[in-house]
Structure 1
Amino acid sequence: MSPAQRLAALLTLPPPAVLGWRQREPVTGADWLAEAGRWQAAFAAQPGQRFALYFHDSLSFAAALFGAWQAGKQAWLPGDLTAASRQALRTRVDGFAGDVAPPQELPVVTPAAAPAVAMVPLDAEALQLVVFTSGSTGEPQALPKRLRQLFDEITAQEQTFGATAPGAAVLASVSHQHVYGLLFRVLWPLATGRAIQAQSVVVLEDLAELAPPGARAVLVASPAHLSRLPLQAQHSVDQVFSSGAPLPDAAVPEVLRVFGRAPIEVYGSSETGGVAWRQRNPGAPTYWQALPGVEWRLDDDALWLRSPHLDEAGWMPSADRAAAVDGGFELRGRADRIVKVAEKRVSLTAVEAALRASPLLADLRLVTLTEPREQLGVVAVPSDAGWALHDAQGRRALAEALRALLTDVVERVALPRRFRFLPELPVNAMAKSTQARLLTEFDPRRPALRAIQRHEGGEELTLFIDAALPQLEGHFDGHPILAGVVQLEWAQMFGRERFVIDGEFAGMEAVKFQRVITPGRLVTLSLSWTPGKLSFRYHSDLGQHASGKLLFAATS
């Protein structure tokens, strides 16, 4: 039986003795199958067809997902439950199931007391899944998928990677709410008899606690996770996977140092599914090799794909440029993107290329702003030379130097007008710099983030308290200070961005304000997160300014 056939018949097959683990507690196949049956009964009793699923626990998610499919329902998988996502779901789905607070006014589905009917194989041609694009270049788009597309991709995945670690338990730092996590963290182990660890790997130290005793293990990780490895740690896993965004070249030797092998990188997208793979071990080729069944060709330098994982049989243009090499292809960046600014056509690719050529920048992303008028914005990571100019002459001087590089690329009226300089690009859990996330950097109420330091217990963010911050107005005339309520707001805002905090704010504990914060200073915000509690501390060269804990309602 192929992995695709096994997934279609999963709820009708004899369950394995152990299907997965919740931390160190084994979960039997019989218990999981009963849970899926209760979800099937619950969904079957609902009149609607479209249901949003959002779980932290991968085993509960998998039971609800297969229960919904068995009941003939379409499962929608939002990548997050931000205010915008919740609002969009309210008008597009008929109900919600999950272990976090649901979008407002949506009926909530909970598992029934007992399974209702005997299970039957799933219809692989059914259009029963909706996932969302990352939103890297615009608003996230809903993408319907047939079960066949997912199940056949698992067969190709097992053909390519199955011999790497047969029987290994699967641990992950990526969410199953995205296609990459869904495929590698949930469907692949279910189809091949690998055990699933229900809890996420947040820091590498979690591996020792989450790996089943004596079992082989693979780690399904994101480029963001693999780019932030500890300096000293070494860990034993049989394989590491990386996908969801490009893995920086500098991260490869670090993964080799920590894990003893390069990660298997998988290239693809929500739209295309998995396309190709590579593993940059010392002496290995760096080009991409197509996954089984996937064909590719070049039109000029644009990469076109034909794949059984697409809903249609024809050729599909990708968003990337590539060059052919013996044995595969090399990626050469994004295909040209054209937007209109002040009625002028602007190539975002050309603007990015001109800015990337500057020794003043290490990395950047462009956004299209609409308020107070349509204009280009730049979120950039300065190089050492860029920070030196920034510190010596100010943010405006660095922005003007970068604008001067674009006079032959963009008409003057369409030049970028707003710049944000950061120590690193803001990304989500899948290492995507989404437009929605980048746009938040242009909020005038947001303090400038100058440096980030990570340690095992949390993070330290260095903030510049600009005198132009609107929160300083009225506190107090002639002697402005940063109000305590603003410090609490910032602690919560940065905490939600730096850690996975889905619960609602539920109160405070041991909050103290010891010393006022005045404009023109660098202040460090230290944050650490344990489930339900965010500890914060503001301090500077003057000493400690404030400290305390913010409490969040536990998910249920």
Structure 2
Amino acid sequence: MAERIAIEQLLSQGRPARFPVALRDGAALGFEDFEVRVAGWRAAFAARDGRRWALYFEDTFEFAAAMLGAWHACKCVYLPSDIQPATLERLRGEVDGFAGDVPATLEPLAFREGPLGWAALVSQVKNLVVYTSGSSGEPVAIFKHLGQLTREVDTLANLFDARLGDESRILATVSHQHIYGLLFRVLWPLTSGHPFLARALPYPEELLAVLETGPAALIASPAHLKRLPESLDWSRGRPHLHAVFSSGGPLPTEALHACRTLLGQAPMEVYGSSETGGIAWRQRAQDDALGWTVMPGLEVQLNDEALAVRSPHLPDDGWFQTEDRARLLPQGFELLGRKDRLLKLEEKRVSLSAMERSLVAGGLLREARVVPLREGLRTTLAVVACPTDSGAKHLAEGGKRALNQALREQLAREFEPSVLPRRFRYLEAMPVNSQGKSTEAALTALFDSRRPPLRVLEHTAERAVLSVETPASLPQFQGHFPEKPLLPGVAQIEWAIQWGQELFALPPRFLRMEVVKFQQLIVPETLLTVELTWTPAKGSLHFKYTSATGTHGSGRVLFGEVQG
């Protein structure tokens, strides 16, 4: 097993020139390649004023080199989760410059011959800012110093190095722009000597192909693990898969069972947050209800039923209060859901968390989120839910109205009629962002008046058929055209993308559209059948709108992974 080197001493101590750091397009990139690239980035950062620099890279090797180069130039690295225009605009007020896959940014300088002169990094300096979306979706900056990262990486190595063995490569479906990906995909491999793949593997077909080539560990998220297609022959890669890790959100029971069956093992689940770092872990090899084991060196306690933690992964030795309810066990704890979210509605205090627990306990839903909607001067409640098989049967036999009524009757046993939810949306899976979280903003968007009523008639990992109503009240018909309302083509494309994101594991980055055709006009009150076909290997979402009169529109939308 390779010698472990703390990130502070990685460059000053070094490794042999050809020691593999990363793999790109089948070729190994050695430590000498890495050192030269870090030196180029260090020179580039040192030549520029300002200490705060935002980094965003598609290539993980280049990202790691730029981050180490920035740290060795005494800069503080900011890690945005995406490079959408709104994100970049917000960052311009927080940082002094950008490096990576953003136009008009810093570039590394050419390496000049001579001694590199590496000094050890200082552990106590705050040199990293990560962002967490929280429940509202608004990004919150979290400052960390290098010592926190080093201690957490050391914890991971002590817990999991032996499981990986000497030859495992690190494969990932998650981004290094978030703390989970940064720790597991970059810092832990660098310090323990495990080569990492320089690109993410968002598609199962790609993952399986790489797995077949040799020993590996997979850094994944629940969003990816719950969409493993049974159609692939996972037995070809199973012997090479030494470990699977999952973090960023709860791993659903059905995803756990799929991993056991398809991958031949249960994932190592890691519980924590951007603020706290890792807190606990578990591997549910047989027991679905297995509790969480506290990581070495950490302490936990309950305050008003919510978990508090004291940890070397925190900036100080004080207690950090989480919002997660828990029950303590001899070796750890059991999580009981988020602490009650209280809302005053119709002059009554309502626990949204309690309402969610009640909805799931009824057996018709496997997952439910209650969100407040502001409608004029009133606030009402809405439910976004994923039905169980029993709930889906209820939906198929009686329609949406019947399931809505069954859930309202169920809630009426515990909640007053005036606070019961008025609107419902049923999905195959909750919408998640690149951090694997369902934000309130994304859930609220599902109740936009621009969204038409629909039912899911068929749904597999790569195909869905929807029945879509087009009432005359839809805003898309307004003003297009005054004499004869028609559904614009852009609305058809917008709907196809939105539904594709809800039904399939689409990469979040829109690339382009191809062969888009609109053959027949869609007028109000047309009952549409929409067929969506997702081809992961090509990143292609094909859509087709038909009705009793024939085909109305079709086309392809291409997606790529978020840069990072």
TM-score where L is the length of structure 1: 0.88
Q: Say whether the 8 Å CA contact 2:529–2:545 is kept in structure 1.
A: no
CA–CA distance in 2 between the matches of 1:395 and 1:274?
41
Match in the other structure for 1:314:
318
Kindly indicate whether residue 433 of structure 2 is the aligned counterpart of residue 428 of structure 1.
yes
Kindly indicate whether residue 356 of structure 2 is the aligned counterpart of residue 352 of structure 1.
yes
SS in structure 1 of the partner of residue 20 of structure 2: coil
**Matches for 1:147-166 after TM superposition, within 5 Å:** 147-166=146-165
CA change 1:284–1:268 in 2 (3 A) is same
Q: Say whether the 8 Å CA contact 1:223–1:242 is kept in structure 2.
A: yes
Give the aligned CA root-mean-square deviation in angstroms. Answer: 3.2
Q: 1:466-489: CA deviations, max 9, x gaps?
A: 314221335567975432222233
Q: 1:379-411: CA deviations, max 9, x gaps?
A: 122345545555666545544543444456556
**Matches for 1:289-304 after TM superposition, within 5 Å:** 289-299=293-303, 301-304=305-308
CA–CA distance in 1 between the matches of 2:289 and 2:366?
26
CA–CA distance in 2 between the matches of 1:57 and 1:98?
9
Q: Say whether the 8 Å CA contact 1:460–1:524 is kept in structure 2.
A: yes
SS in structure 1 of the partner of residue 269 of structure 2: strand
CA change 1:261–1:397 in 2 (3 A) is closer
Further displaced range: 21-30 or 64-73: 21-30
CA–CA distance in 1 between the matches of 2:106 and 2:540?
30
CA–CA distance in 1 between the matches of 2:364 and 2:142?
39
Match in the other structure for 1:136:
135
Q: Say whether the 8 Å CA contact 1:537–1:544 is kept in structure 2.
A: no
Q: Say whether the 8 Å CA contact 2:532–2:541 is kept in structure 1.
A: no
Kindly indicate whether residue 107 of structure 2 is the aligned counterpart of residue 110 of structure 1.
yes
- Give 1:278 shift: 0.9
CA–CA distance in 2 between the matches of 1:448 and 1:82?
29
**Matches for 1:443-522 after TM superposition, within 5 Å:** 443-448=448-453, 450-451=455-456, 453-455=459-461, 458-460=462-464, 462=466, 464-467=468-471, 468-475=473-480, 481-493=486-498, 498-502=505-509, 508-517=513-522, 519-522=526-529
Match in the other structure for 1:174:
174
Further displaced range: 436-445 or 337-346: 337-346
CA change 1:552–1:259 in 2 (3 A) is closer
Q: 1:210-268: CA deviations, max 9, x gaps?
A: 3594x310011111111112214323211111111111122222111112111111111
Runs of 4+ more than 6 Å apart: 1-4, 551-556
Match in the other structure for 1:189:
189
CA change 1:283–1:363 in 2 (3 A) is closer
Q: 1:412-433: CA deviations, max 9, x gaps?
A: 5554343322232111234311
SS in structure 2 of the partner of residue 164 of structure 1: helix
- Give 1:121 shift: 1.4
Q: 1:429-462: CA deviations, max 9, x gaps?
A: 343112232222122223456437344xx55463
Further displaced range: 512-521 or 425-434: 512-521
CA change 1:63–1:80 in 2 (3 A) is same
**Matches for 1:210-225 after TM superposition, within 5 Å:** 210-211=210-211, 213=213, 215-225=214-224
Q: Say whether the 8 Å CA contact 1:463–1:524 is kept in structure 2.
A: no
CA–CA distance in 2 between the matches of 1:207 and 1:553?
15
- Give 1:362 shift: 2.7
CA–CA distance in 1 between the matches of 2:159 and 2:288?
17
CA–CA distance in 2 between the matches of 1:44 and 1:527?
46
TM-score where L is the length of structure 2: 0.87
**Matches for 1:148-297 after TM superposition, within 5 Å:** 148-167=147-166, 168-211=168-211, 213=213, 215-232=214-231, 233-234=233-234, 235-236=237-238, 237-282=241-286, 286-297=290-301
Instruction: Give 5+ residue unaligned stretches, structure 2.
Output: none
CA change 1:478–1:134 in 2 (3 A) is same
Work out the percentage of aligned pairs sharing the same amino acid: 43
Q: 1:176-232: CA deviations, max 9, x gaps?
A: 11111111111110011100101111222213443594x310011111111112214
Counting matched residue pairs gives 545
Q: Say whether the 8 Å CA contact 1:77–1:131 is kept in structure 2.
A: yes
Q: Say whether the 8 Å CA contact 1:4–1:154 is kept in structure 2.
A: no
Q: 1:331-381: CA deviations, max 9, x gaps?
A: 111122223446643322222122223344332112233453444332122
Match in the other structure for 1:91:
93
- Give 1:9 shift: 1.5
